[in-house]
Structure 1
Amino acid sequence: MPTTSIYSESDGVVCWQGCLEDAGPDVENIAVHASHLGMPTHPDVLRIVANRLAQPEGRWRPYRRPRAGVKPASTAPSRSRK
């Protein structure tokens, strides 16, 4: 079963080393810069969770961070300016 651990070295409550999963073909550990209480609403964490949930069953792929300066694709309909 694919497993993703999202952790923060600046958590302040949980020892981040204890959050790491052992390496495997469908296991990944993803570091974010967030506080312990801020993690549930942190934009990077929400993007990662949405990405993990959107993957089709049986076709797991490692998470790819968006390139710096590139905004993630929006799910909102585009608005044309007139």
Structure 2
Amino acid sequence: DIRKYTSPARGSKKWGKLYKERTAVERVNAYLKEFFGLNHVRHRTGKKARLHFQLVTLVYNASRLATDRIKKMKSEQMSKAA
């Protein structure tokens, strides 16, 4: 039974690593749906929906990159000051 006996086996190190990756991706998906409006995309064609998704992910990645760089700069400044 595939529902009882999964591959990789539950509780193994490989399963734990895979589960961590999956939860990280699901957190990002939930964030995009909640704050960028991907829950309510209504386009007649797949092309428009795909473009909308690509623009949202571009903005999300750019904002994450900017915040990570700002945090890094601040931590470097704090370490120099100390």
TM-score (norm 2): 0.28
- Give the number of the structure with larger relative contact order, counting CA–CA contacts within 8 Å between residues 6 or more apart: 1
Higher helix proportion (structure 1 or 2): 2
- Which structure would you say has the larger Rg? 2
